[in-house]
Amino acid sequence: MTLFALAEELSIAMAPLHDHYGAWAVVTGASDGIGRAIARQLAADGLNLVLVARRRERLEALGAELSAGCGIEVRPLSIDLALPEGPERLLSATEELEVGLLVAAAGFGSAGRFLDADRESQLAMVDLNCRAVAALAHGFGQRLVARGRGALVLFSSLLAFQGVPLAANYAATKAYVQSLGEGLRHELAPAGVTVLVAAPGPVHTGFAARAAMRLNRAQQPEEVARETLAALARGGTVLPGVLPRLLGCLLRLLPRRARVRLMGSVMAGLVWPREP
């Protein structure tokens, strides 16, 4: 990294997020978990917010809390991003806004054998975790490049770095996001746009209940949100939390086949009810 690039990164990291990524941030998955925690931290930094998820009442309640508490403007948008028209609806609803930051946190997973799972729900997972992320990264990416600054934040997972028995489809969707983000980071950097991929380990959110998993030693979403936003200026990949970072380093030392087997045994302990 050149001295100029380092100075630029430091000045972005030290300025309030609003100065570099304002005036508007779009947060998907804002009705719960990590997305909601990120929305709260962005609001405290003075960014106006477009809050996206399916559960309208939760978005409206959060919007009312944040606009009263932080004096920002909030637009809650109830959109099912797994539907083919979902991402386009979001892109057209935000056309007139000066969006400087997209946080694409909407996503879900499942635990258990792929062949035992409901097919439609597994395909909806691909639609939400991959198709919607690609459409939004493309649409907002074009706007940020035209503006000459801004950032995309995508959510992969600690499961994204190898195949994972008992979460095979979910891990595959997150491998897609990880790879998309890594490639885009280099494509968009010359235009002044940062791409950050966050790859959390277990986090206490609505995720585990929807995935039928029981998580041990999980982090709080506020902690993940804080570490993710702290890594925004430098981009690349962040593994929030000491334990996930340690696990990530250890996993990298193993051959891929051994990693797959190890992650399969870890997953077997998380599936709820337990695998026979």
Ligand X SMILES: NC(=O)c1ccc[n+]([C@@H]2O[C@H](COP(=O)([O-])OP(=O)(O)OC[C@H]3O[C@@H](n4cnc5c(N)ncnc54)[C@H](OP(=O)(O)O)[C@@H]3O)[C@@H](O)[C@H]2O)c1
Stretch of 14-22, 29-37, 43-51, 266-274 lying at the interface with ligand X (CB under 6 A): 29-37
Q: At closest approach, how far in Å is the CB of 15 from ligand X?
A: 26
Of positions 12, 22, 27, 31, contacts ligand X by CB under 6 A: 31
What is the total count of residues that contact ligand X (CB under 6 A)? 29
> Residues 8, 45, 80, 275: which binds ligand X (CB under 6 A)?
80
Three-state secondary-structure class, residue 72? coil
Regarding 237 and contact with ligand X (CB under 6 A), the answer is no
Part of the chain binding ligand X (CB under 6 A), chosen from 3-11, 184-192, 204-212, 231-239: 204-212
Burial of 191 (0-12, 13-18, 19+ CB in 10 A): middle
Find all residues with CB under 8 Å of 276, minimum gap 6, and list them: none
DSSP string computed for 254-268 = S-HHHHHHHHHHHHH
**Can you tell me whether residue 227 is helix, strand or coil?**
helix
Concerning whether 61 is annotated as a catalytic residue, the answer is: no
Indicate which residue of 20, 174, 185, 259 is catalytic: 174
Instruction: Please identify, among the stretches 26-34, 113-121, 233-241, 262-270, the one whose residues bind ligand X according to the rule CB under 6 A.
Output: 26-34
Residue 276 per-residue DSSP state: -
Residue 111 catalytic? no
Distance CA 56, CA 80 (A): 11
Closest distance between ligand X and the C-beta of residue 80, in Å?
5
Local structure of residue 213 (DSSP, 8 states): B
CB of 43 to ligand X, least distance (A): 16
Coil vs helix vs strand at 126:
helix
